[in-house]
Amino acid sequence: MSRPLKFGHRGAKGYVAENTVESILKAIELGVDGIEIDVHKCKSGELVVFHDFTVDRITNGTGEISSFTLKELKGLMVLDHYQIPTLIEVLDAIDRKCILNIELKGKGTASKTVGLIENYIEKHNWNYNDFIVSSFKNEEIGAVFSINKKIPLGVLIESNFDKAIVFAKSINAVAIHPDYTMLTKENVEEAQAEGFNINTWTVNTPQAIKRMKSYNVNAIISDFPDRL
């Protein structure tokens, strides 16, 4: 895989409704090296792939995602046309065709995510390198680290590079995942010199993509992965 790796954001959000199986299949069709998705835990305990903490913005329902059972979530329509998938459905759709970056968005998502990753490694031929688990929530990726030290981890940040590097070292993370607007050539080089990959998001315009490439980042996460 040549650098920077091309990652589809929430599947291929620029083309098909975010975080749906159809969006993931579109990203694969576009030839991505990886796909980023968001996970929450719903009321009945399953991990579901969805970005927001409420279902209001892109479904015909209203309320907090954690207050719905899986059956109830499956009864909602995403942008009139799609269903909210479980993490299992997404793993099966990807079927090792690319790396899966699981962002732990909701609270209490770490242990079930680790369980699923271990299951897909043991029973479905996936490898640890097929996964990156990232989060803005230090307690969630910290929990992943304490359960299984082999899972590649990424620390998501919108500010404060130095603090992120200190935390990333403490959990043996492989990567920092910064908002691209906070990157400079210098801070990318510094983080890489400390041994971290820089996987940046959400880079959509040709100018920003060109600049990130000039910084030699390790991966770019985009709503339009075919532009990378």
Site for ligand G3P, rule CB under 6 A: 9, 36, 38, 51, 103, 134, 156, 177, 201-202, 221
Nearer to ligand G3P, 69 or 156 (CB): 156
Selection from Ca ion, ligand G3P, none that 177 binds (CB < 5 to 8 A by kind) is: ligand G3P
Please report, as residue ranges, which positions from 13 to 52 form the binding site for Ca ion (by CB under 5 A). 38
Q: Count residues near Ca ion (CB under 5 A).
A: 2
Work out how close the CB of 98 gets to Ca ion at its nearest, in angstroms, rounded to a whole number: 16
CB of 125 to ligand G3P, least distance (A): 26
- Give DSSP secondary structure letters for 104-131: E-STT-HHHHHHHHHHHHHHS---GGGE
Q: Which amino acid is present at 27?
A: A
Q: Among residues 38 and 130, whose Cβ is nearest to ligand G3P?
A: 38
Cβ contacts of 184 within 8 Å, gap of 6 or more? 215
Q: Which does 126 bind (CB under 5 to 8 A by kind): Ca ion, ligand G3P, none?
A: none
Contacts of 75 (CB under 8 A, 6+ apart): none
Considering beta carbons, is residue 72 or 182 the nearer one to ligand G3P? Answer: 182
Give me the helix-helix angle, 110-123 and 138-147, nearest 10°.
40
* d(C-alpha 158, C-alpha 200), whole Å: 10
85-144 binders of Ca ion (CB under 5 A)? 103
Tokens of 176: 């920092």
